[in-house]
Structure 1
Amino acid sequence: MSRRSDPVLHRDDPSKEPLVGHVKVTREDWLNVARAILVGDGVAEVKILPISERLGVSRSSFYWYFKNREDLLGALLEDWARRNTSTLVAHCGMPAATITGAVCNFFRCFLAPDLFDPGLDFAVREWARRDAAVREIIDRADKDRLAAVREMFARHGYDPFDADVRARILYFMQLGYHALEQAEPMAERLGRLEGYLEGFTGHAPAPGECDALRVFAKEEAGS
């Protein structure tokens, strides 16, 4: 996935309720810009003054929403967990008639930036290299994600050992794909979908499963 462009501010987003009174930006705006800086420049550059300058508001308005910079960083971690871990776990638990259909649900997360943001994930991992507390949070998230993928295989009849091994292959492959910043066209990538599904699960996909995922990918690319 490509990195997101500059964040849309709440005040500029037609899907949001208009701001009223003297409010110029929202807590969501502060988080959106802080997230963009985290992904683009690293956690060391997530500072109150640069964010306020990007938002075009006074630094003092930061304290309407956050106690201090540490509070903002904590909110960023909560935002990351909600965006990436909770969404991935939820998609692994979605009903599916076959294991190949279940893996297609897993793949949807990585085709839609609103479901899983690889850039944000790796920015938090880079942060964790310098912060032991964040390292612990990352480790717990990986355990939770792996458990969800493992349970997905187990629900479809795989024994515990096989489910665990296949979960690790699938999850670590997907993260590694983004870590290597593969730039192959999406059509080329999806052209291997049947092979990927059989490789990960040991089963050929059911009729229509790959077509449905390709339609989803096309819709996401056009949104």
Structure 2
Amino acid sequence: MNDGTPLLHRDDPSRDPLGGHVKVTREDWLAQARDTLVRDGVAQVKVLALASRMEVSRSSFYWYFRNRDDLLQALLEEWEARNTASIATQCARPASNITEGVCNFFLCFVDGARFDSGLDFAVREWARRDEVLRARVDAADAARLKAVTAMFAAHGFDPREADARARILYFMQLGYHALDVREPIAERLDRIGPYLKGFTGQEPDAMAMRRFLDTVDSLGIA
């Protein structure tokens, strides 16, 4: 029951609204900061502005973070844990052949729970003006490429070809998002067979491809 105090809604609609006697959590501050970073850029990630958006006192911020820099570092840790770790995990998943391996990689980019493309490019835009962060982004790209290369190598590709195909696959996928390509997901998935052949140099395994499409369908994306 509400006593007239404004309700503050978290980003997750399944969560209870925040009432006057419910503290804003660290997760709430991070969610608001992440949304602002993606929408407006790092310069607009300000404690007072975030507090105003959530209709709370900024004093609660200091229960969870020392200062703004501490919040920004937490955002970067989330980016690494969500995006770089997700690619590494997907590429290391057991796969019966390279078709299934590449489909595991693709799941990062069709399921927002595995990879946040908006956050990824917001961090990259931020890094254009921050050389220290640029080095961190370069290290993340290197780690992701290492994982994709290892996936190809695990399916019999020699080191040189595994490296080249990993770069083609990874940079194409990032470019797809950077260009903000807008097409129906059904149209994109209709090209999955030719894409797989192009990326692997092999005829795609029909059963692995079917399992991938079924997984996408179960996510309610198509």
Corresponding residue of 2:6: none
Corresponding residue of 2:156: 157
Shift of 1:217: 2.0
Shift of 1:214: 1.7
Aligned length: 214
> Which amino acid letter does the alignment assign opposite residue 205 of structure 1?
P
Corresponding residue of 2:69: 70
Classify 1:23/1:10 alpha carbon distance in 2 versus 1 (closer, same or farther; 3 Å): farther
- For the Cα contact (< 8 Å) 1:99–1:156, is it kept in 2? yes
**1:13 and 2:14 aligned:** yes
Corresponding residue of 1:212: 211
Corresponding residue of 1:190: 189
Corresponding residue of 2:166: 167
Classify 1:55/1:12 alpha carbon distance in 2 versus 1 (closer, same or farther; 3 Å): farther
Q: Please give the root-mean-square deviation of Cα atoms over the aligned residues, in Å.
A: 2.0
Corresponding residue of 2:41: 42
Corresponding residue of 1:177: 176
Shift of 1:221: 3.4
> Which amino acid letter does the alignment assign opposite residue 125 of structure 1?
R
- For the Cα contact (< 8 Å) 1:11–1:25, is it kept in 2? no
Distance 2:137 2:83 in 1: 11
Corresponding residue of 2:93: 94
Distance 1:193 1:76 in 2: 33
> Which amino acid letter does the alignment assign opposite residue 163 of structure 2?
D
Distance 1:192 1:20 in 2: 48
Corresponding residue of 1:54: 53
Distance 2:119 2:212 in 1: 24
Classify 1:149/1:46 alpha carbon distance in 2 versus 1 (closer, same or farther; 3 Å): same
Shift of 1:10: 7.1
Classify 1:49/1:101 alpha carbon distance in 2 versus 1 (closer, same or farther; 3 Å): same
**1:29 and 2:20 aligned:** no
Distance 2:221 2:174 in 1: 24
Shift of 1:50: 1.0
Give CA-to-partner distance per residue, 1:203-222, whole Å, 9 cap, x none.
11222222222222223335
**1:114 and 2:113 aligned:** yes
Shift of 1:158: 0.5
TM-score by length of 2: 0.91
Determine helix, strand or coil for the equivalent of 1:144: helix
> Which amino acid letter does the alignment assign opposite residue 173 of structure 1?
M
Query: Any residues of structure 2 matched to 1:124-135 within 5 Å, and which?
Result: 124-135=123-134
Gaps of 5+ in 2: 1-8
Give CA-to-partner distance per residue, 1:128-151, whole Å, 9 cap, x none.
001111101100000000000000
Corresponding residue of 2:146: 147
> Which amino acid letter does the alignment assign opposite residue 130 of structure 1?
R
Gaps of 5+ in 1: 1-7
User: How many percent identity over aligned positions?
Assistant: 57
